[in-house]
Amino acid sequence: MRLDAPRVALFVARLQLRNASDLQEEFGEFLHCPSRKFTDFEEIRREIERETERVGGQKNISPSPIVLKVSSPHVIDLTLVDLPGITKVPVGDQPSDIE
């Protein structure tokens, strides 16, 4: 299994890894839609993009993290938290006081 973090212009998602308990299925779960299990990892990538647009708009910046728990019998189970990056220069519609 390979999960590529989405990239926007000059930005790439930075991920904090947390060890979680073992499960036998391969799937992902988002904190913002806990009742849904994503079994297609391409759909996980698209959901990250949709949630980034929802919480950050065109600015792609939000104080709210996107939390994804990935479980698979083939890898260590992980919870990924998309952390805000350090930005000094505004891009596109980002506010001029971005620091």
pLDDT computed for residue 15 by the predictor: 61
d(Cα 41, Cα 84) in Å, to the nearest integer? 22
**Residue 71: per-residue pLDDT:** 80
DSSP state of 32: T
- pLDDT at site 52: 84
pLDDT higher at 44 or 55: 44
* Domain boundaries of the chain, sorted by first residue: 7-83
Name residue 82's beta-bridge partners.
15
Whole-model pTM? Answer: 0.59
> What long-range pairs does 35-42 form, CB within 8 A, spacing at least 24?
41/1, 41/2, 41/3
Interval 14-51: pLDDT, tens: 666 655 555 577 888 999 998 999 999 899 999 988 98
Residue 82 pLDDT: 62
Structure confidence at residue 70 (pLDDT):
81
Helices (H), the chain: 41-56
R_g of the chain, CA atoms, integer Å: 14
Write out pLDDT tens, residues 57-71.
776 677 778 888 888
Task: State the average pLDDT for the chain.
Answer: 74
